[in-house]
A and B are shown apart, each in its own frame.
Chain A
Amino acid sequence: MFRRGWFLPIAAALGFSFLYAPIVSLVIFSFNESRLVTVWSGFSTKWYGELFRDPQMLGAAWLSLQIAALSASIALVLGTLAAVALVRFRRFRGRTLFSGMVSAPLVMPDVITGLALLLLFVAMESFIGWPRGRGMLTIVIAHSTFCMAYVCVVVQSRLSDFDRSLEEAAMDLGASPVRTFFDITLPIIAPALVSGWLLGFTLSLDDLVIASFVSGPGSSTLPMVIFSKVRLGVSPDVNALATIIIGIVATGVLIATIIQLRSKPKKARA
């Protein structure tokens, strides 16, 4: 029943159609002439044109891209440091608290994270006068904090299964720990760093709830604009936007998978 039967292929096929059918229909209807998103009335790319003439949408997209790039970079540095600490330093004071703090943002409901950070920013502003008001800076801080948890998980798994004897050899040959890290460790964990950064970037680009709490007037991110449009019903330009995003993501994931398959040594099947 399970190894060579019909059950698994059918279950998997159904599961994957469930995952993809709504996305496929969304992409198809982005090329629909009619404003009614569900009635097909001919091929058209006018919603794409509309999208690129919408200054609110373009402004929000640009802001979101900047925030995502900044947050992913900060999260990359902090998350990698945290991963190194957790994997390499076997024992230190407060380790349990530290590892708890690193992994808790992964499952913390967004509404709690958002509210907590907002209340912190408001309290900080009234005590020390920083951060003044809320906007891009506060969103970047919030996003860096939850993205670093994801970076840490990705880097941690790469760090814990690579051959430590390479590092030991470098140190035996007289390299300092810092030099060993930059010369040996960093190149080896580079793929994890790339995927960690990309993960942080997409998570930041995607976040609605946390950004809604910590943003200020005039700093609406792309998801916030999309959400306010979608709340009022289906709008075809959102379909067009979704198609563009899906296209970019699909290309990126495809390239990453091909690179990974190419770089994997033939014998790597364990």
Chain B
Amino acid sequence: MTLLQPWILLTLPLALAPLVLYWLRRRWTERRDWAAMDILLQAYKTAAPKQKQSDVVQLILQTALILLAVVLVAQPVFYVSQQTEVPNSQTNAPAELHSVYLIVDDASTNAPAYFKAGFEQLGKDVRFDVLTPDAANPTTAQNADVLILHRVRSVPQWLAKVVENRGTERRPVWIFAPHNLDDSSRQLLKDALPPLAGEPSKTAQPYETLNPRSLLWQTPDFEPLAGKPVPFPSLINSVYESTAGWSAAFSDSSTILSRDGVWVFSSSVDGTQSAWSMSDLWVPLLDRIVTISLSAPSTSSTIEYKPGTTWLSRVLAIAGLVILVTLFWRFGRKPSRYSQRERRWGWVCFIAAGAILFIMAIQATFKPVVWVKPSILFLDDDSQSMNLPQLPGDAQTRNQAMVQWVDKNTDALEKLLQNYRLFESSFSSPDAVTEITNAADWKTTLEKRSADAPTSDPAGALAHGVETLSSQIDRQTLSAAFILSDGVTVGQPAPDSEQILVRQRQSGVNPKVFALALGQDNPIPNAAIENVKLDSVLFAGHENELEFQLRADGLQGKTVKVELTEKERRSSEPRVTGSKEIKIPSPQFVAEQSFKVVPPEPGAYEYKLQIVNRDDEFIQADNAVTRQAEAEERQIRVLLVSGSPCWEFRYLRNLLARTGMVKLSVVLQNASKEYVKEDSCALESFPTSAESLNEFDALIFINPVLDWLSAQQRDSLREYFSPELRVASSELRENSTRKAIICFWNAQTDFAPVAALDGRLIPFDVSAASAPSGKIRSAAAISPLGQTTAWLQLSSKDKFDWSTLPPLGAVVSVKQLKANVQTLLTTADNASPLLTVHDVGNVRVATVLTDSLWRWRQGAGEAIYTQFQINLVRAMVKPSADSRVEKPVEDAVVPEEWRNTSANSAALSEMCKPTGGFAFRPADSQSILDAVRPDAPRVRVVRPPVAIWNQFWLLALLLAVLLFDWSRLYLK
């Protein structure tokens, strides 16, 4: 047992105060001439020994009194040392796993599938939610059994708060590949995480260094692998590196770190990396994640303090009182050494100290009672659907109708303000709750607020707003929440009344929810062309299908005319190749339609679908859609060879498989069979004969394991780019194809096998002093030569800004290229090439010195990545097609929420009903008064009792009183 508390060390020296005061007094001596020295010496001999004893007793009593008081406030505590205990699935029976919440930036990747499959293999019947940070629900994330952040780029504030909360509760958060985070998110998470040993500590709580290796490898599943060479050496090595601090964890170095329930997995141990997810380690790792998550907190050594028993505190307080009384008695003895005035002060101080000790002895608590105004929250919808007309054909938007409603009800709001505190927030930032001090100001705020949020989520906004406001007003007296919305949601789940009730029960705040339903449930007249499908590669002289969807709202009984125009890019004259008149039978009509497209000859074409404009339409921008297509004589035949199913391979394979331009074959050298079977275009092995290899127009290598090729396969590859078959580029006819090899290398690739096979495949000299080395993270930049290359113009604008693309990882750093190599792209610092082309025999070789081009999909979207890859393949195979490579045509952008022009008052009603509220229309101006009693009395709030007897300030007061008195007497 120890009496130590983190802060007690600060106060314990105060116990020395009497000694210090005594010592100071001995130091400060007055000089006085004295005549009756003989008498004085005689008196000194008699009295001094007795007085010294008395002083010692006095000092002991005073010191003991301070010590007792300090310990009393600190409370005697029991010290519990928890050794590092790793929950073991075999010994600890974890609680049931109910929910896994996976937050990813791009839900369309394979990561969710691997996670889901892994958890399914664990045999757990779990609810598995995959959401992006924007769509995720804080409450669910907070309460999920397992929370995983996977390759998240941007972490919103609320998610950092969730991480912090879960860390405080010792509930794990698993952060995979934190190097993906942008700088601000990385800092946000670092701040949210509890500090590690050696890092600046936010609290005085001691932490011990944690060895993640012991945490991860203690299970029988991993033990056989520990320290042994396994197929994934980088994984094992990375696990051995550890505990370098969060800064290291968030860098690109390989670490696994855990502290107080937050686990960070760096890139190399990314559980969804190809090698991982295909291996037998993936499922055991997920099992460990589940076990640790459900068994938290018990994963780190901690020092826990538990308050001592009440009786011990009482005994201490009474002992303190006894000492005080003793001191009091000694002080009051006569003859006193103190003057009358000093004694008077002394009485006052003794009485004050006695009162404080009495408070400590009876362990007094304070029950604060306050009277507060009840609160009302207004949540206004600021999504783009609020810019739609309030009524069909009306010039007033829903947003303006909302402002008008506030204006009309200014008096009612002012009445409410007399008895309520009014707060307002918007759907896009429900956490930013501000208090309304007068109705006119609020109206001005609403007028200035632009409705430009892309989507709205009434239920989510309600949850966030209520939670934020509840914390602001201490979870008390939230009488009502008003939602000012049209109820339109896109990409968000419809408001779930049951979920709202559950959330309110969890938060302990149950306001009635009312909704001002804006807009009309009838759709606004509009026709739109959507979901246009046209292969990007067509074949000349053949019929190709152009499919589209016609959506018509509020145009029942009318006819919509759609025209298709075709334009060969080089020719400036578009011509109408198809026209349809479609009669609209119902108010909300959606029909699949199609046109036949027959490109007369090979070339680049633009096809434009256009609804002939109508005067009664509100939205004109969605009436036209343009698609580009390339008419070819035949498909480009591509063989994609990858060493492992890495991200670059997956994205590129999916892309090439989707595009009709390419006839794709795939060889995946190192992967489980189940995975390969997913791919219908897979070959069993790399072609062994030159004839079969020469059928392919292009070979794409992504970190191939060339060592694994047989002698026959190597020979066929050598023949593929045989110098004897060299053909000058000038001899190539337009649209003719030639052989091409495209290589993607990462920084860790060993180039030796390639050099052994044929060094001409790689653009630099492996044996030279300028041998390549790994370089981490770099953005791309275009070289002067690249700027003149047509197929690298990825934007319809004049110049594409390459710096806007996300940075790449694991770039091969090359200082010196071979003489005949052309550099098209470089790293941002221009120190190393990123994309090079050179000719080997009749083969055009393009080398991409990274295998993380897929990162361009993050943030920049899929379009740029797709365009680059398609352009690359086509330009390599058809050099003369440079001028005809795809340039995007940008159609007018229509807000997502405008797809549904009908307001959804029913959804709002559903939200309100279970809480006892209701939805009302702007015309029901009195509803607000009916809904909320304007004369609501203030609410008496009894706050939780606060123990005042063990407060630091009380101790400080006691010490101040005692030390004031003693210093006054000692140092007078």
The yes or no verdict on A and B being binding partners is no
B residues apposed to A, CB below 8 Å: none
A residues apposed to B, CB below 8 Å: none
